[in-house]
Structure 1
């Protein structure tokens, strides 16, 4: 009898230990995408484009924050191909970012499996090809990262959630069953009025413009409460000598009234207006924002920077050609991806001594420039533009906080 009690006690202890050692993982989502050529007529004229699973634009990737994404990409083109997940932070796995230098291009009739996890990045993003000029031919689409159901938001559940992809080469019609965006908006009720930008307290009226700068991710909550008819949605370029405009149509169910009147115009050259609008955005930490964590994500303002770098862009003539440089170095891709060279200690692919942390007046040159940093470094980066045109910078794969 005593042995039986000891056996039962041992089984209980082992069972308790096994339960305590179980670690529940975040959900996994599996996708298989096949990249092919196809023919569509975005302007009424048939042309060759890049399709993903037969779709142009490609499939919308709908995930929930912290989901583990396993995506097998099969390249059926006759050229090497890569996809980059624009704006998705790649924590300790920059080799999943999908750009030359971190990834080898996927050869024709080959595949590569991307593995990444969008954490605390609720909102709208995009993916697109990063090789050659493939982005101009298609292969792009929307990424929507949703909050977990248990996280409350300060507005009623939207009636719909749509993505609007804006391009300069074609006009497209939008129906109420399938708005397809480089920015994401949610339909609540019925009037084209931006009532709240997610993560901000900005209120706009239906005739205002919303500037979305290169690389920005913006989600807006939209109320539709006008009479059932068709309405314009207009996107135009900013700060360009020639203003490029694309027009789409917002179609109400049951509408028998087509759009009419002049296409609404927006500001196109007012740099100060655009900057002032950007300064009005405020991050509402109670809505669709990163959760507090033990690492102290909300104490970044009190951290002393590990180092400060000044990146100065310039236009130069190098070897008889116009090239653009950063701190005097115009970048060229190496034949070997930088991550592979780093991992396998392959010499001669790049050097961390070529580019300096601030402009030094050296003669401009062409090189594979790499700047070294250490894990957990807190970097302060100053962008210096001495040119006569507005510049944009693409900072991808990590956390960045613009401060001015």
Structure 2
């Protein structure tokens, strides 16, 4: 395995966690947290060879945001790259505030040498989320990090306070630079298979509770036998599902993207691109060192990143082979996904039971069936939704909508059911109304795993199935305790159904979380609109909003 290096994950001791939570007790109003982040290039060797990556405040991965629900985050982002840049906040709902979403349909990118100040809240949310670059193919260069949102002190969670809190950002990785990868996609080629998998920026790591500014050292919290620790695992990769496991230990699943779940035990968990899970692990094994493993799933070649879980009283190093991935494959993974259930007796970020909103008894206002495909358009590889491959406009769609600028996007190009026609390109928007309650079916007729994300929302994942979806499949939906999340997998030659309450006005990106597919067109926007323009529905345009394209010179 070679000599492991320190795993760069933020470890919160009980005292540090209390310090974070006490901030909300000092002021009766929602507190403000101020950050200044500088984005630069840097050279590091994640897979052993030097390569250019994106650093935030000199860090790879970027700084971890540890906040309390409803905190106001004021984050000044300074772009010192040679190209425009944006960050998006994966899973943060941005209530009434799509102006801060950080994607090209809502924000002008930050020019080189300039800055933009984001101002947003993780409103009524708790859980593990992430941020990453949304411009170009920057995501392949890093610039990602964790957002951990803690509950207010008076809001109970359905488990005892853990003895420690670890964040693990796992994902596949390329040795090739992001500019070369983007050029390859622009030329019409698909991405090759990745070169490795990283855990918090490393392919091998020691996970012993050490934390410092270098692999040297300062111990904030040791992992002790008999104690229970929270592990926050997020797949920040580009294209592959990863399986996470800890040698000799079981994991109790407690939370998925902000939803408390029925606390089942698992030997391993499949975490798809863009997804996050929280587990509790009790150190109840013999005092020695154990492997932590993240490896690719459903791929002919296996890529593996490994770490070491170190008991403080261990005198025995890790030995033997890495723990094998589970024997179950696609069907077994789907069965595992079906075991994820909402904990209806637990509180959410607000002090009310999560099950008080009876989603299964609400009549849907619209059904949208979305079929992904991989067409060649003008001889180049593209990806499409219902035969339409999305192209970015030079003017953010949100600005075009606000300033009534015609010709920027189309609300008629993308149909709400597959039509089987020849693939086309468009800046596609599906119009919806505020307070619609919609059913969305993701139909995957390809042999590749899919992962879909909706900005600004979470949604109930009510059904998975093989083959073709049909209205009769609704009889298989979980209309009682399906969990809410912001990203869902769709298995090869299968379908996934979700229900969404469109209670958040704005222009919201629905996209493939697999970044090659997003970059080459597997995305569109939902326009959630109301004729009543009011602060009760949506915030005004920010006074510092950047203007570009056809919005240049407009007054706001």
Matches within 5 A, 1:150-189: 150-168=154-172, 169=196, 170-173=202-205, 174-178=207-211, 181-182=233-234
**Unpaired runs of 5+ in structure 2?**
1-26, 173-195, 197-201, 212-230, 237-247, 464-556
Q: How does 1:224-243 map to 2 (within 5 A)?
A: 224-243=283-302
Say if 2:402 is the partner of 1:343. yes
The equivalences for 1:8-87 within 5 A come to: 25-87=29-91
Displacement, 1:112?
1.0
Of residues 196-205 and 237-246 in structure 1, the stretch that sits farther from structure 2 once superposed is 196-205
User: 1:264 aligned to 305, 319, 323, which one?
Assistant: 323
Range moving further from structure 2, 116-125 or 261-270: 261-270
What SS does the corresponding residue of 2:381 show, helix, strand or coil? Answer: strand
CA distance in 1, matches of 2:403, 2:352: 35
Distance change >3 Å, CA 155–CA 316, structure 1 → 2? closer
Q: RMSD of the TM alignment (CA)?
A: 2.5
The alignment of Structure 1 onto Structure 2 pairs a total of residues equal to 374
Match of 1:216 in 2: 275
For 2:435 and 2:390, the matched residues in 1 are separated by: 26
Distance 1:229 1:216, change over 3 A: same
C-alpha distance in structure 1 between counterparts of 2:453 and 2:252, whole Å: 29
Stretches of structure 1 that go unaligned for 5 or more consecutive residues are 1-22, 185-190
Counterpart CA distance in 2 for 1:195 and 1:180 is: 12
Q: TM-score w.r.t. structure 1 length?
A: 0.85
Q: Does the residue aligned with 1:155 lie in a helix, a strand or coil?
A: coil
> 1:244-263 residue pairs with structure 2 within 5 A?
244-253=303-312, 255-263=314-322
What's the CA shift for 1:216? 2.5
User: Is the partner of 2:30 in helix, strand or coil?
Assistant: coil
The offset of 1:125, in angstroms, is 1.2
The CA distance in 2 between the partners of 1:360 and 1:196, in whole Å, is: 40
Distance in 1 separating the partners of 2:428 and 2:390: 6
Partner SS for 1:373? strand
Q: Distance in 2 between matches of 1:293 and 1:250?
A: 37
TM superposition score normalised by structure 2: 0.63
Residue equivalent to 2:373: 314
Which structure has greater strand proportion? 2
Q: Deviation string for 1:2-60 (max 9, x for gaps)?
A: xxxxxxxxxxxxxxxxxxxxx95312111111111222233343332211111111111
**What are the within-5 Å matches in structure 2 for residues 240-389 of structure 1?**
240-253=299-312, 255-267=314-326, 270-287=329-346, 289-291=348-350, 298-389=357-448
Larger radius of gyration: 1
Query: Which structure carries more relative contact order (alpha carbon 8 Å, separation 6+)?
Result: 2
Which of 395, 399, 402 in structure 1 is aligned with 2:458? 399
- Give the direction of change, closer, same or farther, for the CA distance of 1:28–1:296 in structure 2 (3 Å limit): farther
Deviation at 1:365, TM superposition (A): 0.7
